[in-house]
Amino acid sequence: MRRANNILLVLLSYGLVYAQGTGNRFQSPVFSQLKVTKNVLYGNNVSFNNAPVDLYMDVYEPIGDTMARRPVIILFHSGSFLPPSFASAVFAKAPIGTREDSGIVALCIEFARRGYVAISADHRVGWNPQATTQELRAQSIIQAVWRAVQDARALVRYLRKDAATTNQWRIDPNRIAMGGSSSGAYIGLHVAYLNLPSEFDNNKFKLQDGTMFVDTTQPGMDRGSGPNQSGNAFEGGSGHPGYPSHIQAVLNLGGALGDTSFVQNENVPVISLHGVQDPTTPYTSGIVLTAVGNYPIIEVFGSYSLTQNLIAKGNQTALLPDFSGDVPFPGLYPLNGAGFEPFGWYSSSGPAEIASAKRYVDTIIWFSTPRLFKVLNLPTIQMPVANTYSISQIVVLSLSEATAGDLQAYLSVYPNPATLPSVTIESPTASIREISLYRLTGERVLSRSLIQPSTSYLLELPDNLSQGIYLLRVETDRGIFTERLSYMQP
């Protein structure tokens, strides 16, 4: 029995649906209805100050999709590996640094409309940009990158574990792309190319006394302990050991790689779009500076220099010959005149800035989707194009391990399948407060609030209820639980 990842459906909006012509799935917006499942727990670890951290993701999917195995794209937000409140202050842009960043959400929607499973995910944040020396700042930021890379690998393992077991997300474990915006793109690049412990044995990543920046025996940077323990300390201990964490492609939006020595012939192509005037991450190569004070941190290799090295080692071959005409290099699109995250907008953004950002979203989709189509070796599937869309939102409220337990320990629903006009809901260890019934499309069928909470309730079903599968949501004093209810007309 799966753990209770408790689901609350909230309908956001409906739009009229029109089809106009046909297009190729994975490149054209062929789905008109989407759902986003929010706050899905995918792992946990400890922060840079050893505090426990749960790791969450939001999953965007097309509704009505019958494809059994779908490509997945994982996107991480920007924020310079700082907590969101600090990132907003540093960049003078709010909100920023969460999985609900505007540009990341917009991209997830557009990829889901094209038939991907799109994921916006958190990772651990925190480092010391105010360290007094350059090498201490470099050590701190590299450790922050390493923690985030561990988390990203755990997310890939989570997805492959799901594909091999419950198959909730119906992803293709052989078609996983990862990337994000700015620091989020750093994560995808390092998951792809920082894959050998020996690559940290480099004077660039050591203190003057020879101490390596990353010590994989330290808490939060090691293999973990307990049920999340990994057999490989370099993989990290954020969860789901025993499953592979490699990816097939990177979508790099203004990111960089810590050193070109990481690049071997991994055969992981990178699709990059980069603001040439980005002051935070160089388009070519250079020293990254702190956003406040402009103190030097470490040399990195931005999209131009990175792609040169990828080509030299044969990692962009999958883009050839179709995209050999990309200028300056296959898989690289320079955003001339643009700076940091031009596809994002914020609470202070006016209509013109928002419109400009959305045009950059369109540019990213226009450039990336045909290249991802090729490097992921996706099938050609013609479908009607939908020029509008709607979203149903599912909020997943995960209980802690101590209180979640097994779903059946707290909730039982019978008869199920139901052929009677009522079902009994029992929760012997919790008090039922509210009950709702939803169609799988997100439409609420009924809602009942209990004036006096009880451990048992007889729910009368609507007379006109049609045969089918429904989602029963039960709110108790121990959390919110869901159960699929199959209704068969007598």
Q: pTM, whole model, 2 decimals? A: 0.79
Q: Can you give the pLDDT at residue 15?
A: 33
Single residue among 352, 387, 422 that ends a domain in this structure: 387
Mean pLDDT of 165-169: 92
Mean pLDDT of 357-372: 97
Q: Can you give the pLDDT at residue 396?
A: 63
Q: Confirm if 239 and 161 have CB atoms less than 8 A apart.
A: no
The CATH number given to whatever domain includes residue 453 is 2.60.40.1220
Residue 339 lies in a domain: yes
Structure tokens at 275: 């603001």
Structure tokens at 407: 């779903």
Confidence of residue 94 (pLDDT cuts 50, 70, 90): confident
**Whole-Å CA distances, 171 to 40, 116, 239, 264:** 15, 9, 19, 28
**Percent of the chain residues past pLDDT 90, beyond the cut:** 62
Taking the CA atoms of 376, 382, 387 and 390 in sequence, report the sign of the dihedral they define.
negative
Q: How many CB atoms lie within 10 A of CB 15?
A: 13
The more confidently predicted of residues 1 and 67 is 67
Structure tokens at 384: 């009607």
The answer to whether residues 175 and 253 belong to one domain is yes
Asked which of 5-9, 127-131, 268-272 is least confident by mean pLDDT, the reply is 5-9
Q: How many CB atoms lie within 10 A of CB 265?
A: 11
Q: How many CB atoms lie within 10 A of CB 366?
A: 12
Asked which of 92-106, 108-122, 443-457 is least confident by mean pLDDT, the reply is 443-457
The answer to whether residues 115 and 204 belong to one domain is yes
Reduce the DSSP state of residue 366 to 3 states and report it: helix
Q: How many distinct structural domains can be found in the chain?
A: 2
Amino acid at 181: S
The answer to whether residues 347 and 429 belong to one domain is no
Q: For residue 285, what are the domain limits?
A: 17-387
The answer to whether residues 220 and 324 belong to one domain is yes
The answer to whether residues 341 and 411 belong to one domain is no
The more confidently predicted of residues 28 and 4 is 28
